[in-house]
Amino acid sequence: MEIRPIFSTILRNPVGLVLIGLQVALTLAIVVNALHIIGTRLDNMRASAGIDENNVLMISSTAFSVDDKPLDIARTDLDYLRSLPGVVNAMAVNTLPMTGSGWSTQVEAAEDPDSHDIATAIYFADETLVETLGLDLIAGRPFRAGEVTPFSMDDNLRPPVVIASAAAVLDLFPDLERPEDALGRLIWNGDENDRAASEIIGIVDGIKAPWRGFSVKIFDHVTFVPHIPTFDKSARYAIRSEAGQLDKLAGNVREQLAAQNLRRVVGEPRTFPEVRERFLRGDKSMAVMLIAVVVLLLLVNVLGIVGLVSFWVTQRTKQIGTRRALGATRGNILRYFLIENALITSVGVLLGAVLAMALSNWLASEFSVHRLPWYYLAYGAALLNALGLFATCLPALRAAGIAPAIATRSV
Amino acid sequence: MTRYYFWLAARNLKNSPWLSGLMVLAIALGIGAFMTSYAIFHAMSGDPIPHKSHQLFSVRLDNWDPEDAYSEPNEPPTQMTYRDARYLAEAGKARYQTAMFRVGMAVQPGNPDIKPLLSHGRMTYSDFFAMFEPPFLYGMPWTRAEDGARSTVVVLSRAMNERVFGGENSVGRQLRMDDGEYTVVGVLDTFDPLPRYYDLINTDPFGDGDDFYLPFTLNDTLKKRPNGNNSCYIDPPEDSYQGYLDSECVWVALWVQLDSEAERRDYQTFIDNYVMEQKRHGRFPRPLNNRLDDVMDWLDNQGVVDEDTRIQVGLSFAFLLVCLLNTVGLMLARFLRRAGEVSVRRALGASRRQIFQQYLTESAVLGIAGALVGLVFAALGLAVVRGLAPHIAAVTHLDPSLGLFALTVSVCAALLAGIYPTWRACRIAPAAQLKTQ
Amino acid sequence: MLSMQDLSKVYRTHLVETHALREFSIHVEEGEFVAVTGPSGSGKTTFMNIAGLLEEHSGGRYQLDGVEVSGLSDRERSAMRNEKLGFIFQGFNLIPDLNLFDNVDVPLRYRGFGAKERKLRIERALEQVGLGSRARHYPAELSGGQQQRVAIARALAGEPRILLADEPTGNLDSAMARAVMEILEGINAAGTTIIMVTHDPELAARARRNVHIIDGQVTDLQSSFADSALGVSAPRESAA
């Protein structure tokens, strides 16, 4: 069957073209952009924090007496925690990946005349860091006990040695091919008049910062410094349990720690799986909302096409009967409707592609959303064409079933 | 006649349950999705203190790095240095003003059965209560005189008073915090402005508030570090608490109340002069860039309505549009299928206008039905959202005004969708369908 | 009662112009029963549509009950249809979704009568055609003859001055057709003017006056009233 007469029929009464075409166009524009955002969010949700996620928790201790020495309390607490059964190791920290709060600073490559600075998260750690967090140390060595010093909020940060994430060193030293080669290099930290150089002694892979930046790249930039931190009168500890023991540990550790020293308050333990769930909550709810919109949108589209094509079939009953009487086969009738819908959908898809790109540009300019990759459009167009044909089939099969005798009846 | 049209519309809906159901479903899905995201948006973007949101101003001074703005495009820091905030708060140039920051302290109840608990409070001036108008359950705020005298007084939140004093009137009682004794002068009633506009930087805008309030001036002896955001572009001049107070680190917020445009202008001049004066001492290397933002501008500046919510509102509105296009098609099918009836009615004396009214009424009835079903969908949608995002849960519910809004949107949408099909229906010539049946 | 003078009706598409009526003149007096006959495509339906204010004419004059209808607005024409005219169609044209009561109610609603008045008129009209007990039935539950009687009741309920019937018995068998015809004659006897298009010479013969249309013009006229022919050819005895 030729396409031209079908097309001219469509143009003679363009209401269907406008209604279904616009609907398909809008749907395509929304669906591909929503799918793109959903894809990004699902990627986010898969991100690993670079630590032994299932066995780490964090707990805080705050003393309230002026006379208490927070550092002494921290050391006693750590000794106690390390002695607990089911605990692999523990150390004083300031924060963990994905908690949403922490400390970041700018660092730059020392000895490099045209060095640029990068933002990096600062994690405090001691000699047990690899074991306590379950880090993937790909080069160099952990801190030595002798290198680890106390740090209070009154101090300025001037660590002699640091352990950095692979992504951070690659961004800091663009000349390096492998992150391992950054060992022994120096990085600057601090403002121009008061710079301190730190030697990179270890490289860890996969560790994540407490938050994800969009305009500033920071999620993969982490620097560990060898200090036991105390904040006013409080300290925080990261504890790693033996595999599978985290819930048990989380259930008991607060009471146990509090009993050691009554002159302070021990906070609620936060297990890393909880931290992660909270961190990804926004991504998850966005993904769920958008998936719901996409599914409903496709459903509404199918219903709309079924509804309109059914109406056309009813309107053209007599015409179809006449065609059948003149020798058209059922297949011809079915094909007529399918081609007609494919033409209309294609017009909609073309318009939709333009709309989708416009929407994508707008989203990218107003929000933290990246531009739409072209293949989303291709998939989206294929999807809508397939759905359009499917939706047309239902009423078109009814049309194909119309008896030729209809034509001769006056009713 | 209107009743007759409604009666006819209801009959027609009943007589073709499938097509009617499809149309109501299309409108309801659109309204449901749109209202779900709009309810969240509405809750987040509300005016937390409508009667004076134009009189309360967040103050910002730009003491940042000469090379780099605090954030682009050329935004001053969101908070102030301790010394600037304290100076401006005590200069008293506005009708009311307060500097404030958040601290964490251990509360030690007198009752030995209650364990010490970690709590979060606010160091602020007595003007805080006059400006932000938290309701008092018992007692009253401390006074400006007590600010000056560094009195050891405290105002408690309702929840904290319940935990420590069992909810009774605790005014005049002593409260022990971090080994210090404080006299309770007031207990607040529930104070949950949404969003918590006076501290967007250090608290969740839709989260819990402060457990207690202490005079800012007490910090002279307490020497607290902020339990909140702190940013420095250069290191403090010396490694000590005093060095921190004298540093360019920003961690204190300043709010003022200015009741007229003239007062606002005067205050702007005042802070500009202050910064010019400081420049002479080698501070404030950036060009003059001091800001006064009223509540709604500040909420906007800080992006309280997060991006995801905006995107969701936009996309769900587009979804509603698709549902409407769908409805146009289905209505067209429905109305034109009844072309014969239109002809008969025309022959029996219905004017074009009456046919128009009849069919538009039918559209409106579809809109009403769509809104009702749509509100059920929206309630389901919000239930899902609450499961996914508990922090938003507290603030989103479908109140009568949102229900009315949904009804308005739905009916307008259905009327809009019905206009073309109705126009087609009333253009049917009276004689057209009478012969052929 | 109804007077057309040199009426013309032209249908235009962008390709062709068709003259459905040309210099068409007819005058009908109050109380007449006029049968209109003519071959298919002669302009009978166009005449009925224009007479019933369902279509506008292209030229000439048309006075209905003393009112010149050219240039009336849609609203005024609709009001005239509603108050002065009743229609009966070959296909009955009942609204299938409404029961008999509500079908008869349709024109009364547009008339703006109160609920009491409408109920009274509907019941009286259905009684008149012998369907008073069937008010709550739906059209699909009735035979063709009964449906046509409902259509007559609907036309009568508003007490029209003229009843326009287009092949009212065309879809009915002869027994039913006779029954319908008897009702029409009764209505006419009570004073309502009737214009009826028919193919059936037997029915046409029962009318008091016959009009024949060919090629959009009135070419022949028979009447039992010697004085009723105005501006057309001489009266003859009807062949009944």
pLDDT digits 0-9 by tens, C128-161? 888 989 999 999 999 888 999 999 999 989 889 9
Residue C237 CB partners (closer than 8 Å, separation 6+): C222, C224
- What local confidence, expressed as pLDDT, does residue C236 receive? 40
Share of chain A above pLDDT 90, in %: 53
Confidence of residue C237 (pLDDT cuts 50, 70, 90): very low
CB contact under 8 A, B435 and C166: yes
Query: Residue B337 is nearest to which of A190, A293, A311, comparing CB atoms?
Result: A311
In a domain, B434, yes or no: no
Query: Residue B431 is nearest to which of C49, C110, C111, comparing CB atoms?
Result: C49
Fold for domain C2-95+159-201+209-217? Rossmann fold (3.40.50)
Domain end call among B301, B327, B357 = B301
User: What is the domain extent for residue B144?
Assistant: 57-301
- What local confidence, expressed as pLDDT, does residue B58 receive? 96
CB contact under 8 A, B434 and C110: no
Residues B26 and B75 in one domain: no
Task: Enumerate the residues of chain C whose CB falls inside 8 A of the CB of residue B355.
Answer: none
C-alpha–C-alpha distance, residues A199 and A184, integer Å: 6
Q: Flag whether pLDDT at A215 surpasses 80.
A: no
Task: Enumerate the residues of chain C whose CB falls inside 8 A of the CB of residue B435.
Answer: 45, 89-91, 166
SS3 category, C18: strand
Residues B16 and B87 in one domain: no
C-alpha–C-alpha distance, residues A407 and A396, integer Å: 18
- What local confidence, expressed as pLDDT, does residue C229 receive? 40
Residues B126 and B174 in one domain: yes
B12 to chain C: closest CA residue: C97
CB contact under 8 A, C45 and B344: no
Q: Flag whether pLDDT at B218 surpasses 90.
A: yes
Query: Residue A154 is nearest to which of B241, B330, B381, comparing CB atoms?
Result: B241
Give the model confidence (pLDDT) of C84-114 as tens digits. Answer: 999 998 888 888 888 999 999 999 988 889 9
CB contact under 8 A, B29 and A19: no
Share of chain C above pLDDT 70, in %: 91
A touches which chains (3+ CB pairs under 8 A)? B
A158 to chain B: closest CA residue: B235
Q: What angle do CA A285, A287, A289 make, to 5 degrees?
A: 65
Average pLDDT on A125-150 reads 94
Highest mean pLDDT among A59-73, A104-118, A217-231: A217-231
Query: Residue B29 is nearest to which of A27, A258, A296, comparing CB atoms?
Result: A296
CB contact under 8 A, B385 and A23: no
Residues of C (75-94) whose Cβ lies below 8 Å from B: 75, 78-79, 81-83, 87, 89-94
Task: Enumerate the residues of chain B whose CB falls inside 8 A of the CB of residue C74.
Answer: 351-353
- What local confidence, expressed as pLDDT, does residue C220 receive? 61
CB contact under 8 A, C109 and B4: yes
Give the model confidence (pLDDT) of A218-241 as tens digits. Answer: 999 999 999 999 888 889 999 999
Confidence of residue A194 (pLDDT cuts 50, 70, 90): low
Q: Flag whether pLDDT at A319 surpasses 90.
A: no
Containing H/E element for C88? strand C85-89
Query: A232's torsion region: left (phi>0), alpha (psi -120 to 50) or beta?
Result: left
Packed helices A374-400 and A272-315: angle between N→C axes, nearest 10 degrees: 40
B242 to chain A: closest CA residue: A154
Q: Testing the interface with C: which of B1, B11, B15, B348 to mutate, by most C Cβ within 10 A?
A: B348
What would the two tokens of residue C116 be? 């009491």
Average pLDDT on B140-147 reads 95
- What local confidence, expressed as pLDDT, does residue C138 receive? 92
C-alpha–C-alpha distance, residues A20 and A345, integer Å: 7
Q: Flag whether pLDDT at C238 surpasses 50.
A: no
Residues B315 and B379 in one domain: yes
Give the model confidence (pLDDT) of B97-135 as tens digits. Answer: 999 999 999 898 887 777 888 899 999 999 999 999 999
The closest alpha carbon to A224, from A237, A245, A209, A243, belongs to A209
- What local confidence, expressed as pLDDT, does residue A410 receive? 47
ipTM score above 0.90: no
* Burial class (CB within 10 angstroms; exposed 0-12, middle 13-18, buried 19+) of C164: buried
- What local confidence, expressed as pLDDT, does residue C228 receive? 42
Residues B95 and B126 in one domain: yes
C236 touches chain B (CB under 8 A): no
Residues B100 and B248 in one domain: yes
Task: Enumerate the residues of chain B whose CB falls inside 8 A of the CB of residue A311.
Answer: 329, 332-333, 336-337
Query: Residue B239 is nearest to which of A15, A63, A154, comparing CB atoms?
Result: A154
C-alpha–C-alpha distance, residues A234 and A215, integer Å: 33
CB contact under 8 A, A300 and B322: yes
What would the two tokens of residue B171 be? 């005014």
- What local confidence, expressed as pLDDT, does residue A113 receive? 62
Highest mean pLDDT among A42-46, A392-396, B121-125, C174-178: B121-125
Beta bridge partners of B294: B57
In a domain, B437, yes or no: no
Average pLDDT on A327-335 reads 85
Query: Residue C54 is nearest to which of B15, B431, B437, comparing CB atoms?
Result: B431
Task: Enumerate the residues of chain C whose CB falls inside 8 A of the CB of residue B349.
Answer: 78-79, 81-83, 107, 110-111, 158
C-alpha–C-alpha distance, residues A279 and A282, integer Å: 7
**What's the structural domain count of chain B?**
2
- What local confidence, expressed as pLDDT, does residue B72 receive? 81
Which of A186-200, A294-308, B368-382 shows the lowest per-residue confidence on average (mean pLDDT)? A186-200
Radius of gyration of chain B, Cα coordinates, nearest whole angstrom? 30
Q: Flag whether pLDDT at A33 surpasses 90.
A: yes
Q: What angle do CA B320, B15, B424 make, to 5 degrees?
A: 60
Q: Testing the interface with B: which of C106, C162, C167, C199 to mutate, by most B Cβ within 10 A?
A: C106
Query: Residue-wise over C113-150: b if at least 16 C-beta within 10 A, else e?
Result: beeeebeebbbebbebbebeebbeebbeebebbbbbbb
C-alpha–C-alpha distance, residues A76 and A87, integer Å: 16
Query: Residue B319 is nearest to which of A30, A37, A282, comparing CB atoms?
Result: A30
Task: Enumerate the residues of chain B whose CB falls inside 8 A of the CB of residue A286.
Answer: 308, 311-312
- What local confidence, expressed as pLDDT, does residue B376 receive? 93
Residues in chain C: 240
Distance from CA of B386 to the nearest CA of A (A): 9
Residue C189's alpha-carbon distances to B333, C145, C156, C192, C194, in angstroms, are 45, 21, 14, 7, 10
Distance from CA of B402 to the nearest CA of A (A): 20
Distance from CA of C97 to the nearest CA of B (A): 7
- What local confidence, expressed as pLDDT, does residue A220 receive? 93
- A407 contacts A324 by C-beta, under 8 angstroms: yes
Average pLDDT for chain C = 85
Query: Residue C79 is nearest to which of B344, B349, B436, comparing CB atoms?
Result: B349
- What local confidence, expressed as pLDDT, does residue A325 receive? 80
**Where do the structural domains in chain C lie, given as residue ranges?**
2-95+159-201+209-217
Average pLDDT for chain B = 90
- What local confidence, expressed as pLDDT, does residue C225 receive? 45
Beta bridge partners of A162: A200
Give the model confidence (pLDDT) of A357-385 as tens digits. Answer: 999 999 888 887 888 888 899 999 999 99
In a domain, B432, yes or no: no
Residues B202 and B103 in one domain: yes
- What local confidence, expressed as pLDDT, does residue A31 receive? 94
Q: Flag whether pLDDT at B401 surpasses 80.
A: yes
Distance from CA of C158 to the nearest CA of B (A): 10
How are strands ordered across the β-sheet holding C85-89?
Answer: C85-89, C162-166, C193-197, C33-37, C209-214, C217-223
Amino acid at the residue C138 = Y
- What local confidence, expressed as pLDDT, does residue B235 receive? 81
Task: Enumerate the residues of chain A whose CB falls inside 8 A of the CB of residue B33.
Answer: 292-293, 296
Which of A61-75, A183-197, B324-338, C22-36 shows the lowest per-residue confidence on average (mean pLDDT)? A183-197
Residues B20 and B66 in one domain: no
- What local confidence, expressed as pLDDT, does residue B390 receive? 72
Residues B245 and B315 in one domain: no
Q: Flag whether pLDDT at A200 surpasses 50.
A: yes
Domain end call among B301, B318, B334 = B301
* Burial class (CB within 10 angstroms; exposed 0-12, middle 13-18, buried 19+) of C73: exposed
Question: What's CA B20's distance to the chain center, in Å?
Answer: 38
Confidence of residue C230 (pLDDT cuts 50, 70, 90): very low
C-alpha–C-alpha distance, residues B397 and B194, integer Å: 13
Packed helices C74-84 and C100-111: angle between N→C axes, nearest 10 degrees: 130
Q: Flag whether pLDDT at A193 surpasses 80.
A: no
Q: Flag whether pLDDT at B403 surpasses 80.
A: yes
Beta-carbon contacts below 8 Å between B and C: 81
Residues B182 and B263 in one domain: yes
* Burial class (CB within 10 angstroms; exposed 0-12, middle 13-18, buried 19+) of C159: middle
Q: Flag whether pLDDT at C233 surpasses 60.
A: no
Distance from CA of B353 to the nearest CA of C (A): 8
Query: Residue C111 is nearest to which of B340, B349, B436, comparing CB atoms?
Result: B349
B344 to chain C: closest CA residue: C93
C84 to chain B: closest CA residue: B349
C touches which chains (3+ CB pairs under 8 A)? B
Containing H/E element for B138? strand B136-139
Average pLDDT for chain A = 88
Q: Cis bond leading into B112, ω under 30°?
A: no
In a domain, B435, yes or no: no
Domain end call among B301, B336, B363 = B301
C-alpha–C-alpha distance, residues B280 and B203, integer Å: 35
Q: Flag whether pLDDT at C71 surpasses 90.
A: no
Query: Residue B437 is nearest to which of C81, C83, C91, comparing CB atoms?
Result: C91
Residues B134 and B271 in one domain: yes
- A297 contacts A27 by C-beta, under 8 angstroms: yes
Residues B322 and B215 in one domain: no
